[in-house]
Amino acid sequence: MRELTVLLSFRRLSAVYIFIVLFVIFAFTESETFLNVGTWRSLLDSQAPVAMAAIGLMIPVAAGTFDLAIGATVGLTSIFASWMLVNHGVSPTLAVPLTLAIGALVGLVSGILVAVVKLDSFIATLGMSSVVGACTVWLSGGSQILDLPADFVAFATNRFLGITYPVYAMLIVAVAAWYVLENTPIGRQVYATGGNEPSARLAGVNTTAVRILALVACGVVAASVGLLLASRLGTGDPTIGPSYLLPAFSAVFLGSTQFKAGRFNVWGTVVAVYVLAVGVTGLQLAGAPVWIPDLFNGLALLLAVALAKLGGGRPALAGVRRLVDRLPLVRQRNAA
């Protein structure tokens, strides 16, 4: 009985309980629109890229490394794919793997700077974010790239069982990340590196390789998000990437308080994304102003840091300490 009480405690399932409260409130106050099936389908679809970005970010964060370049990588890969498809007539079957390779390259360079050159991950990835952003503007000329091929655009709009393909893509990424992190030696090495890198190194873990691979994985997932966004919009937009930085961080840290309190985990991250989205959607349906998403994500990040600190888990606490020390950099980058 005590184990069940602990398992169902607010500290472990706070996002679930918050979701129930939000659902009940908006189900009564905005029943005609909030309970509409179309609203929930739209919410599932619109948040799939956010969830994917958060999952990608969670991997290096679990290894004790932050990636402030994830938003810029999303923007670069969206533009790169559009640039190849429209400006150079490359087929989607070639453009997709090349775009994923660009994401991996960004992650590799960040990983070398962090794990080999030994730059602080905040500084290294903040610098990479600016470099990647400059490349995005250079490729696009600062303008949207229009008229993407119909077969490429169709992926984001086609449905199976009433659900769009990007939702299934997000679930595939989530299952793959969960399996690797929770059921393989490399996953245990990732958590060991993030929990206590010196001890992990003494235990025989190649922490340099782990941190590099974690950032490469993040880059590949970010490139997948860029591809989905280009497919959904039907255009390459050089401005879309940075807006994914704060929601991803908020979901990762709020997710660390769910299911496995004090430990960054995939399903907690996914749940956090959709709980935040439910709150924002309900308020928007109630006529709240347009700045509500930014307010929600900012408050969620603060709440997540507080809950993770109270949770007492060492991996999450280490991440909280590093984040608190560098929150001014995050705010400055988001404002820019």
Joined together, the tokens standing for residue 286 give 């109630």
Query: Are the C-beta atoms of residues 292 and 279 closer than 8 Å to each other?
Result: no
Percent of residues in the chain assigned helix, strand, coil, to nearest 5: 80, 0, 20
Separation between Cα atoms, residue 209 and residue 190, nearest integer Å = 10
CA atoms within 13 A on the CB side of 150: 0
Q: Check residue 259 and give left, alpha or beta (phi > 0: left; psi -120 to 50: alpha).
A: left
Q: pLDDT at residue 229 above 90? A: yes
pLDDT band at 320 (very low <50, low <70, confident <90, very high): very low
The pLDDT value recorded for residue 132 is 95
Q: Calculate mean pLDDT across residues 92-98.
A: 94
The pLDDT value recorded for residue 106 is 96
From the list 183, 256, 258, 271, the residue with the least C-alpha distance to 7 is 258
Q: Calculate mean pLDDT across residues 138-166.
A: 90
Question: What does the pLDDT look like over 179-205, one tens digit per residue?
Answer: 999 999 999 999 999 988 888 899 889
14-23, 119-128, 273-282 — most confident range: 119-128
Q: Calculate mean pLDDT across residues 309-320.
A: 52
The pLDDT value recorded for residue 311 is 55
Separation between Cα atoms, residue 230 and residue 285, nearest integer Å = 27
DSSP 91: -
The pLDDT value recorded for residue 293 is 74
In angstroms, the Cα distances linking 216 to 107, 109, 114, 122 are 4, 9, 12, 16
Q: Calculate mean pLDDT across residues 314-322.
A: 50
Question: What does the pLDDT look like over 162-174, one tens digit per residue?
Answer: 899 999 999 999 9
Q: In 113-266, where do the E strands start and end?
A: 159-160, 163-164
The pLDDT value recorded for residue 12 is 67
In sequence order, the β-bridge partners of residue 164 are 159
In sequence order, the β-bridge partners of residue 163 are 160
pLDDT band at 28 (very low <50, low <70, confident <90, very high): confident
Separation between Cα atoms, residue 13 and residue 261, nearest integer Å = 9
φ and ψ at residue 239, rounded to 5 degrees: -105, -5
Question: What does the pLDDT look like over 292-311, one tens digit per residue?
Answer: 777 877 777 777 667 656 65
Separation between Cα atoms, residue 261 and residue 12, nearest integer Å = 5
The pLDDT value recorded for residue 331 is 47
pLDDT band at 324 (very low <50, low <70, confident <90, very high): very low
On average, the pLDDT of the chain sits at: 85
φ and ψ at residue 159, rounded to 5 degrees: -125, 150
Separation between Cα atoms, residue 79 and residue 132, nearest integer Å = 11
Q: In the chain, where do the E strands start and end?
A: 159-160, 163-164
Query: Are the C-beta atoms of residues 122 and 326 closer than 8 Å to each other?
Result: yes
Query: Are the C-beta atoms of residues 282 and 26 closer than 8 Å to each other?
Result: yes
Separation between Cα atoms, residue 296 and residue 103, nearest integer Å = 29
Q: pLDDT at residue 156 above 60? A: yes
Angle between helices 37-62 and 165-183 (to 10 degrees): 30
Hey, what long-range contacts does 23-29 have (CB within 8 A, 24 or more apart)?
A: 23/278, 25/282, 26/278, 26/282, 26/285, 26/286, 29/282, 29/286
How far out from the chain centre does Cα 141 lie?
A: 27
The pLDDT value recorded for residue 322 is 53
Separation between Cα atoms, residue 46 and residue 28, nearest integer Å = 24
